[in-house]
Amino acid sequence: MEWMDWLQQNPWAAWLAVALVLTAVEAATADLIFLMLAGGAVVGMVVGLLPSTVAMQVIAACVAALALLVGVRPTLKRRMLDSIPDARLGTESYAGRTAQVTEPVDVHDGRVRFDGEIWSARSEDSTIPLPAGTTVTIVRVEGATLVVAPTTTVQDVVPRPDDPTPPPGPGPSL
């Protein structure tokens, strides 16, 4: 029980340990929540250095953590995300990337290969049908459907009847 007596006389050490553990957890999550809680623990530690009860330390730590979560975290989070060049997450990050049409795409349906997977797709522009082989740019994601626009013109993929040049693609096999 000797360490318990020491801890009762030095509550700041417990608060310091809590702050260090929360900071280590924050390093793994990078969401700033645990960092704000660690800030609250530091306030609890400071109050623990002064003549105070455990209840006063806990209240001070909770109030400080709540103030940091509500007042500081949103601003820091926004700045952190703004400093990352492309901080879009999930399907938001698909916009602007390219896919390959595998089944003709029109304004209603079609299929594209994106990141090695086949996705349902539809054309953003109803006037431009997109044949298989067309490279398209993803405009947005609606549910499980990619809304796409042509990256190359359709003429680049589908030869005109009067064009003597062969379509792009692999040459004759030998």
- The domain 91-157 is placed in CATH, from the list 3.30.70.20, 2.40.50.140, 3.40.50.300, 3.90.1300.10, at 2.40.50.140
Do the beta carbons of residue 12 and residue 45 sit within 8 Å? yes
SS3 105: strand
Q: Is 47 exposed, middle or buried (0-12, 13-18, 19+ CB in 10 A)?
A: buried
Q: Give this prediction's pTM.
A: 0.50
Q: Which parts of the chain are beta strand (E)?
A: 98-103, 111-114, 117-123, 135-142, 145-150
CA dist 119 and 109 (Å) reads: 10
Do the beta carbons of residue 139 and residue 105 sit within 8 Å? no
What's the pLDDT tens digit per position in 116-160? 899 999 998 877 788 999 899 999 988 889 999 988 654 544 555
What's the pLDDT tens digit per position in 71-96? 999 999 888 877 776 555 667 778 88
The segment(s) of the chain belonging to CATH 2.40.50.140 are 91-157
